[in-house]
Amino acid sequence: MTAKPRYYITTPLYYVNDVPHLGHAFEVVGIDVQARFRRLLGHPVHLLTGTDEHGQKNAAVAAARGIHPRQHVDEIAAEFRRVWDLLLISYDDFIRTTEPRHHRASHQLWRAAQAAGDIYLGSYEGWYDVKEEAFITETEMKAQGLEPDGKRIRRVSEESYFFRLEKYRLRVREHIEANPGFVLPEMRRNEVLNSFLANPLPDLSISRTSLEWGIPVPGDERHVMYVWFDALTNYATGVGYGDPEQAERFAEWWPADCHVIGKDILKFHAVIWPAMLMSAGVEPPRQVFGHGFINVLRRDAEGGAASEKMSKSAGNSVNPLDYVKQVGVEPLRYFLMREMNYGGDGVFNEEALAERHTADLANSLGNLVSRTTGMAERYLGGAVRRTTDAERGAIEREIAAAWDATAEEYLRAMPAFEYHTALARLWEFYAVLNGAINRVEPWALAKKPEEAERLRVFLCAVLEGIAHSSVLLDPFMPGTARRIRAALGMPEDTPAWDDARRWGGLFETLQVKKAEPLFPRLEQEPKTP
């Protein structure tokens, strides 16, 4: 059997000026779902996440707290790891930009770009966006509705090293045009081509002398690396770049298959990062996927409502742990991926969270598993076997056909990050199973001895559908999928995809027990403020 190609996926590095909010959870759960899906297909997967710990904002927050930046970043990085573990993020590596391995990699990339003649010393005077840690033109300020205020937008003048970004603009553009899947979704690709790369780019300031908290520039320690030149390198660091002893590992895992990032940092990842790699003689990543934002509802005094992006600076961030306490980890994971289009923007609504928990999870799925396993235990003594082509009637063939259509759409939607579509299709399959039960009425068949075989075949077909569909749940709700398989008497580990895809390929016989409720009713449903 030919080995499946490896799949290297990354989260952005999370800035540690504050603890994670629900927008971070939305982002990282979506990345974890993709990693778990690829593992489901049999691919070796490496999921890298971590924290961006240098820069002006982190130093400023630490100073405001009266502590050293190192103490601050240690505390917040630990909190990110704790929340990621709670959210069941199956990361293979958690990188911190304060680690020695990352310093080595950043130095190597810098030296390679410098050797190519693409880094030079100069001076810069212009407007600086403190929030984004980036220089900004007057045109960009106007487009974003910003004005110089001495706080967020400041006039800055200092000596700086520069990267020759314009030198690579057309080369990056040609790369994107030759590789239609390099930037996704399509609207992000259009933005990169028609906005970011349409006109000459100013050379990029990549160092600071006004800051000590950062990676020293090799050969000139008066300067520290500007946060983006530092942070972006983490994706290469994570698979061994900069370490001669890991050269083979880097060759095996690089280029990254997908950088998943928020649309607000698209330019850095789809323009600047490829240019840096081209300069250093390193192949660019295969894909950059820019997801949308979670917006939150704000109501005015007259009862009107408007949505706005969730962010720390706007003061509207929501702690994901609040909702974990209310509905549980896996229902929250399901809701974030089901309610919102991962590639676009969505509105977080507590009422919708409660409704999804009750209608989709407790009723459609939970009740289906509970009543079907209960009937199998009661009417068949729990003894279930795979149905055959010869014994299936019209309704059993309908279930098998629905499964084929579901699996096909799932396989199309998942690689495209269309999680809401994949889950909608899966829940349509649950509706087929629930509808079949209501039409056949197994409880009525059980009263007729002459219908015993008909009852057995039907219940076995429904249980086959539950078994197969549990595999599609794995990337979203791995614990729930295991609990379903345990109730069916199956091994709890995720079955091989080829077996799950083929109707009837998961088992010959099972000993089923009535499942405990998968999703207990909410004692107090969340209310929208």
Of 96, 100, 95, the closest CA to residue 46 belongs to 95
DSSP-derived 3-state class of residue 125:
strand
The rounded distance, in Å, linking the Cα atoms of 310 and 426 is: 29
The rounded distance, in Å, linking the Cα atoms of 197 and 189 is: 11
Helices in 87-201 by DSSP H: which ranges? 100-115, 138-144, 169-178, 186-191
The rounded distance, in Å, linking the Cα atoms of 182 and 430 is: 35
DSSP H or E segment with residue 404: helix 394-413
The rounded distance, in Å, linking the Cα atoms of 472 and 139 is: 47
The rounded distance, in Å, linking the Cα atoms of 512 and 373 is: 6
Phi, psi of 489 (to 5 degrees): 80, 15
- Dihedral of alpha carbons 121, 224, 227, 182, sign: positive
The rounded distance, in Å, linking the Cα atoms of 422 and 469 is: 12
Q: Which two tokens stand for residue 381?
A: 């003594």
DSSP-derived 3-state class of residue 337:
helix
DSSP string, 245-279: GGHHHHHHHPSPSEEEEEGGGHHIIIIIHHHHHHH
Q: Which two tokens stand for residue 491?
A: 């091994």
Residue 98 CA to chain centroid, in angstroms?
Answer: 24
349 and 323 Cβ atoms separated by less than 8 Å: no
The rounded distance, in Å, linking the Cα atoms of 218 and 471 is: 50
CA distances from 367 to 55, 457, 485 (A): 51, 20, 15
CA distances from 225 to 81, 174, 315 (A): 25, 28, 30
Can you give the pLDDT of all 529 residues of the chain as single tens digits? 568 899 999 999 999 888 888 999 999 999 999 999 999 999 999 999 999 999 888 888 889 999 998 999 999 999 999 999 999 999 999 999 999 999 999 999 999 999 999 999 998 788 888 777 777 888 888 888 898 887 889 888 889 999 999 999 999 999 999 999 999 999 999 999 999 999 999 999 999 888 888 999 999 999 999 878 899 999 999 999 999 999 999 999 999 999 999 999 999 999 999 999 999 999 999 999 999 998 876 555 555 555 566 565 555 567 888 889 889 999 999 999 999 999 998 888 888 999 999 999 999 999 999 999 999 999 999 999 999 999 999 999 999 999 999 999 999 999 999 999 999 999 999 999 999 999 999 999 999 999 999 999 999 999 999 999 999 999 999 999 999 999 999 998 999 999 999 999 999 999 999 999 999 888 654 443 3
Indicate the pTM of the whole model: 0.92
The rounded distance, in Å, linking the Cα atoms of 490 and 495 is: 9
Cα(first)–Cα(last) distance of the chain, in Å? 56
Cα angle at 224 between 221 and 226, to 5 degrees?
Answer: 155
